[in-house]
Homo-oligomer: A and B are copies of this chain.
Amino acid sequence: MACGEFDVIARYFNRHRTARRDVKQGIGDDCALLSVSEKQLIAISTDTLVSGIHFLPDIDPADLGYKSLAVNLSDLAAMGADPAWVSLALTLPEINEPWLARFSDSLFEQLDYYGMQLIGGDTTRGPLSITYTINGLVPAGRALLRSGARIGDWIYVTGTLGDSAAGLAILQDRLSVEDNEERNALIHRHLRPHPRVLQGQALRDLASSAIDISDGVVSDLGHILKASDCGANLYLDDLPMSASLTNNTTPEQALRWALSGGEDYELCFTVPELHRGALDVALGLLGADFTCIGQIAPAADGMRFWRGNVQVELDLQGFDHFGKD
């Protein structure tokens, strides 16, 4: 890792719990050195989380250490890539050792879980923010792209939608939930999203396109439609929502959060009719829920919403960091 904070780095981040064979040089030189088989491509993604914008300033550093990496893992999941290495750029207003201990313990717990290695980064002084650049490996030619959806393909999502937005609303006192279990479940979905890494890998030869749901399914499916030059019919009655969500808010609010709440970090993907049987087996084996929510249509149709056989108009937009908060 670069810069002058050598003691801090050594103490909290220069751990070698997972020592990967493809890491020829880890933390401790000007660069890390990595080897890659020619049969694999490297998948690279970068995400920044800024205090007050992407997380609440009083967030537990253990939750932050978890979520900041999970968000980035979700991008690898959407490509069907296997997580490998990560660089961490951590900007801190001050050195707070208990904070660093909780943050880094939580980070390394997750790195170990995925067999990943922290290979470097930078620690700097400034307003709190975290940038990960994550590297995964994917067999050449088998990565899931946004651009492969075709007319007639079925649109699926993993898990349930809208819980994370409800969890954030609870944390910000915009939603009150009496039942403790449901309250905690929603908050947990916001603070500890589960990146669908295994599902992404299982989808490699089955899905025609995929994306992770960071901004809400309308916005993220929109990227698939744009990249694939398609439209879509979405069946609102089929949107998977948790009882924790539907028990504690109006149907309108639940629908809005499910469609455009953001930060669910589930996968949205398209599957040709031919692969639906294989899909049921492949994802079923992983024990995760997945739901068909619509079908790819011609581009001229745009994105249409249906309740039963009735087309409905919705005014929704995805989360835009410059547009709203």
Residues 41-57 of A, flagged 1 when their CB comes within 8 A of B and 0 if not, give: 11111111111111000
Contact B91 A129 (CB under 8 A): yes
**Chain B residue, CB-CB nearest to A210:** B30
Q: A50-B91, A79-B30, A89-B89 are in contact. Are A125 and B44 (CB under 8 A)?
A: no
Chain B residues within 8 Å of A119, by CB: 44
Q: Is the CB of B120 within 8 A of A47?
A: no
Chain B: minimal CB distance from A255 (Å):
21
Query: Known contacts being A43-B32, A227-B29, is A131 close to B38, with CB within 8 Å?
Result: no
Q: How far is the CA of A2 from the CA of B213 in the complex (A)?
A: 11
Which chain B residues lie closer than 8 Å to A36 at the CB level? Answer: 36, 38, 42
Copies of this chain present: 2
Question: Does chain B have a CB within 8 A of A81?
Answer: yes
* B124–A31 touching, CB < 8 Å: no
Write out, one digit per residue, whether chain A residues 312-325 have a CB within 8 A of any chain B CB (1) or not (0).
00000011111101
Number of interface residues of A (CB under 8 A): 78
CB within 8 Å for A125 and B46 given contacts A31-B79, A212-B30? no
Inter-chain contact A41/B46, CB cutoff 8 Å:
no
Residues 79-107 of A, flagged 1 when their CB comes within 8 A of B and 0 if not, give 10100010111010011000000000000
Partner of A126, one of B45, B52, B76: B52
Of the candidates B52, B53, B125, B145, which one forms a contact with A322 in the assembled complex, judged by CB atoms under 8 Å apart?
B125
CB pair A136 B4 closer than 8 Å: no
Cα–Cα distance between A41 and B85 once the two chains are bound (Å): 14
CB of A81 within 8 A of CB of B2, answer no
Question: CB of A146 within 8 A of chain B?
Answer: yes
Of A31, A89, A140, chain B has the most CB atoms within 10 Å of the CB of A31
Question: Does A284 count as interface, using CB distance less than 8 angstroms?
Answer: no
| Nearest CB in chain B to that of A52: its residue | B126
Q: Is the CB of B126 within 8 A of A46?
A: no
Q: State in angstroms the CA–CA spacing of A135 and B37 once bound together.
A: 17
Q: Closest approach, in angstroms, between the C-beta of A147 and any C-beta of chain B?
A: 8
Per CB-CB distance, the 10 closest pairs between chain A and chain B, nearest first, are: A50-B126, A4-B320, A133-B133, A31-B43, A30-B78, A127-B127, A89-B131, A46-B87, A31-B45, A30-B75
